[in-house]
Amino acid sequence: MDVKLLSGALGAEISGISLKDINKEIFNTVNELLLEHKVIFFRDQNITPEEQIRLAKFFGPIEEHAYVKGRDGYPEITRLIKGADEKNQWGEGWHSDVSFNIRPTKAVILKSIKIPPVGGDTVFSNMELAWETLHDSIKEKILNKSARHYSLGADSFIENFKHFESNGNNPKEYYNEHPIVRTHPDTGKKILYVNWMYTKTIVGMPKEESAYTLNKLFEHQSSLDFTCRFSWTENAVAIWDNRSVIHYAIADFFPGRGMGHERIMDRVAILGDEPY
Ligand SMILES: [Fe+2]
């Protein structure tokens, strides 16, 4: 096994492990690597949909997406298709997946099916580092406070994306409240748990102060010093710890740039715990 760090902040590319052959022992190694690096990448993993689902189940129960329908025959898999003529890409902007749910996603296993010749990288940012490096005055201000995470409603997941369909769940917007500083259930580390896309207000704080504080946190958490960037190839697999990272899908391969490329990914998500 070889582990190549992607940056000094987080992320590692792992070689010498076949995810096709996953068993309890290999899973333990993969899980340790995930907890250490927060996002791990594997190239040339020609796994079937069944094998991707099997791998996911080692981490825990599979999560159904809040709004988006799964693949035909594989309801556990959400196929993310950005058409060649589309400008928008699912996952643009900093976020942690479905942080608006009572039990947000624990981890995601994303497999690339079709990748543009250039563009479409994904960037991840380390939220333990974001917490550690916050100024003491703002740490004091947000510790023991909660924030509201809004789901934005089904349209924001489906409307702008030609190939996405509703799974029939209630399309209305809803929200849940989570501690701004959560504790990782496996490592005990503190994590800055807000994100630009879904976190809208701090509970019990005047409106203007809440907006100001959140903007400061969003600015801080997206600092390039906390990030790594993965350039996809086909048949690559990314596994990220959705509790301790935020991520951003870069949409730089759309027709307006003279680069109308299709991109296809298969996503399986694992249900997480209630943040505390
Ligand atoms: Fe995402």
Quickly name the fold that domain 2-271 has: Double-stranded beta-helix (3.60.130)
Average the pLDDT over each of 1-5, 32-36, 62-66, 184-188 and give the range with the smallest value.
62-66
Residue 259 clears pLDDT 90, i.e. is over it: no
Question: Percent of the chain beyond pLDDT 90?
Answer: 87
Q: What is the pLDDT of residues 130-188, one digit of tens each?
A: 999 999 999 999 999 999 999 999 988 888 888 888 998 989 999 999 999 999 999 99
Alpha carbons 48 and 54: distance in angstroms, whole number: 10
C-alpha 140 – ligand 1 centre gap (Å): 29
C-alpha 246 – ligand 1 centre gap (Å): 8
C-alpha 131 – ligand 1 centre gap (Å): 21
Q: What is the pLDDT of residues 99-113, one digit of tens each?
A: 999 999 999 999 999
pLDDT at 258: 81
C-alpha 137 – ligand 1 centre gap (Å): 30
C-alpha 240 – ligand 1 centre gap (Å): 10
C-alpha 8 – ligand 1 centre gap (Å): 22
Q: Are 190 and 181 in contact (CB under 8 A)?
A: yes
Instruction: Write the single-letter amino acid at 206.
Output: P
C-alpha 149 – ligand 1 centre gap (Å): 15
Question: Percent of the chain beyond pLDDT 70?
Answer: 100
The CA-atom distances, in angstroms, between 26 and each of 16, 56, 142 are 11, 13, 39
Q: Where are the alpha helices (DSSP H) in the chain?
A: 24-37, 49-59, 127-132, 136-142, 155-158, 207-221
Average pLDDT, the chain: 96
C-alpha 150 – ligand 1 centre gap (Å): 15
Residue 256 clears pLDDT 90, i.e. is over it: no
Q: What is the pLDDT of residues 185-205, one digit of tens each?
A: 999 999 999 999 999 999 999
C-alpha 164 – ligand 1 centre gap (Å): 14
Q: What are the residue ranges spanned by the domains of the chain?
A: 2-271
Query: Which DSSP string corresponds to 33-63?
Result: HHHHHSEEEE-S----HHHHHHHHHHHSPBP
C-alpha 110 – ligand 1 centre gap (Å): 10
C-alpha 92 – ligand 1 centre gap (Å): 8
Q: What is the pLDDT of residues 77-104, one digit of tens each?
A: 999 999 999 888 888 899 999 999 999 9
